[in-house]
Amino acid sequence: MDLLNTLVDKGLRRELPTREEALAVLATSDDDLLDVVAAAGKVRRHWFGRRVKLNYLVNLKSGLCPEDCSYCSQRLGSTAGILKYTWLKPDEASQAAAAGLAGGAKRVCLVASGRGPTDRDVARVSDTIKAIKEQNEDVEVCACLGLLSDGQAERLREAGADAYNHNLNTSEGTYADITTTHTYADRVDTVRKAHAAGLSACSGLIAGMGESDEDLVDVVFSLRELDPDSVPVNFLIPFEGTPLAKEWNLTPQRCLRILAMVRFVCPDVEVRIAGGREVHLRTMQPLALHLANSIFLGDYLTSEGQAGKADLEMIADAGFEVEGADQVTLPEHRAGGGCGSHESAGCGSREGGGACGSSAPSPSSEPRSDLVAVRRRGAGTDLAPNA
Annotation: binding site: 65, 69, 72, 109, 142, 202, 272
What sign does the dihedral 338-336-217-294 (CA atoms) show? negative
Distance of CA 41 to the CA centre of its chain: 19
Rounded-to-integer distance, Cα 360 and Cα 236, Å: 13
Between 3.20.190.10, 3.60.150.10, 1.10.4080.10, 3.20.20.70, what CATH number should domain 17-327+345-371 receive?
3.20.20.70
Annotation: binding site for [4Fe-4S] cluster: 65, 69, 72
* pLDDT digits 0-9 by tens, 144-183: 999 999 999 999 999 999 999 999 999 999 999 999 999 9
* pLDDT digits 0-9 by tens, 173-201: 999 999 999 999 999 999 999 999 999 99
Query: In this predicted structure, what is the pLDDT of residue 280?
Result: 95
Please state the domain extents for the chain.
17-327+345-371
Q: Which of 74, 69, 135, 129 is nearest to 102 (CA)?
A: 135
What sign does the dihedral 167-221-232-80 (CA atoms) show? positive
Instruction: Count the Cβ atoms, other than its own, within 10 Å of residue 316.
Output: 12
Rounded-to-integer distance, Cα 314 and Cα 317, Å: 5
pLDDT of residue 361 exceeding 70: no
Rounded-to-integer distance, Cα 216 and Cα 220, Å: 6
Beta bridge partners of 348: none
What is the DSSP code string of 310-337?
HHHHHHHHTT-EEPPTTS--S-TTT-TT
Contact 214, 53 (CB under 8 A): no
Mean pLDDT taken over the chain: 89
How sure is the predictor about 375, in pLDDT bands with cuts at 50, 70 and 90? confident
pTM for this one? 0.89
Quote the longest CA-to-CA distance of the chain: 55
Contact 325, 139 (CB under 8 A): yes
DSSP secondary-structure letter at 361?
P
Phi, psi of 104 (to 5 degrees): 115, 0
As a whole number, mean pLDDT of residues 71-100 equals 87
* pLDDT digits 0-9 by tens, 326-359: 999 999 999 754 333 333 333 334 444 333 333 4
Return the active site residues.
65, 69, 72, 109, 142, 202, 272
Please report, rounded to a whole number, the percentage of residues in the chain having pLDDT higher than 70: 92
As a whole number, mean pLDDT of residues 294-321 equals 91
As a whole number, mean pLDDT of residues 207-232 equals 97
